[in-house]
């Protein structure tokens, strides 16, 4: 029996150490496979980090909007409280000339606007108001006048007559 010791490997190679590069610097098949695996891991990690960053930006944007809304609410609340503290309405003497001029200008503008843009009234409402003005109001006035005349006529007949006390009801 012959003992023949044979070595199958690269000269200078250590046990358990794999070579992923050729001597010229190019990758071996195992090196390419390992490189692709590492690249995939890094790409996946980058994608996760990008998603986290995008989510954080969105959260920051939402927080900024919430803060802005809260500030505006505080301003409105403080204005409402100041209005409530001034429960007594201002009289004309309390306004400055400029404030009065602004109020008068505003009211004039509103009045002119309402004249130029009248509210649309339905046909039924127009008919109802016409009937009310032309028929019902005059007839109710006439009926009222007749009632008042009768009351006055009966009350003038009784002038000078002694008033009788009403009879008590018997049980």
Predicted confidence (pLDDT) per residue in 77-119, tens digit: 887 776 665 556 778 788 888 988 999 999 999 999 988 888 8
Q: Give the pLDDT confidence score for residue 14 in this predicted structure.
A: 67
Q: Give the pLDDT confidence score for residue 157 in this predicted structure.
A: 66
The C-alpha atoms of residue 75 and residue 69 are separated, in whole angstroms, by: 10
Radius of gyration (C-alpha) of the chain in whole angstroms: 50
Q: Give the pLDDT confidence score for residue 162 in this predicted structure.
A: 62
Q: Which residues make Cβ contacts (< 8 Å) with residue 20, sequence separation at least 6?
A: 27, 28, 30, 31, 34, 35
Q: Is the entire prediction scored with pTM above 0.75? A: no
Give the 3-state secondary structure of residue 113.
helix
Mean pLDDT of the chain: 84
> What are the helix and strand counts (H, E) for the chain?
4, 0
Q: Give the pLDDT confidence score for residue 51 in this predicted structure.
A: 96
Domain extents for the chain? 18-85
Q: Give the pLDDT confidence score for residue 43 in this predicted structure.
A: 96
Give the pLDDT mean for 112-137: 88
- CA 14 to centroid of chain Cα atoms: 74
Q: Residue 27's beta-bridge partner residues?
A: 21
Predicted confidence (pLDDT) per residue in 33-76, tens digit: 999 999 999 999 999 999 999 999 999 999 999 999 999 988 88
The C-alpha atoms of residue 131 and residue 18 are separated, in whole angstroms, by: 107
Q: Give the pLDDT confidence score for residue 59 in this predicted structure.
A: 95
């Amino acid at each position: 029996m012959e003992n023949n010791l044979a070595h199958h490997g690269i000269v200078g190679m250590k046990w358990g150490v794999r070579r992923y590069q050729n001597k010229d610097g190019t990758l071996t098949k195992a090196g390419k496979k390992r490189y692709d695996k590492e690249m995939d891991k890094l790409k996946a990690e980058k994608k996760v980090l990008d998603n986290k960053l995008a989510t954080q930006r969105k959260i920051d944007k939402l927080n900024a909007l919430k803060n802005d809304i809260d500030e505006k609410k505080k301003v409105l609340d403080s204005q409402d409280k100041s209005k409530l503290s001034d429960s007594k309405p201002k009289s004309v003497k309390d306004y400055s000339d400029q404030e009065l001029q602004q109020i008068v200008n505003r009211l004039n503008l509103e009045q002119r606007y309402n004249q130029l843009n009248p509210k649309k009234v339905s046909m039924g409402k127009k008919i109802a108001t016409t009937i009310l003005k032309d028929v019902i109001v005059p007839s109710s006035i006439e009926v009222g006048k007749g009632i008042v005349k009768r009351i006055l006529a009966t009350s003038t007949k009784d002038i000078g007559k002694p008033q009788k006390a009403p009879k008590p009801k018997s049980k």
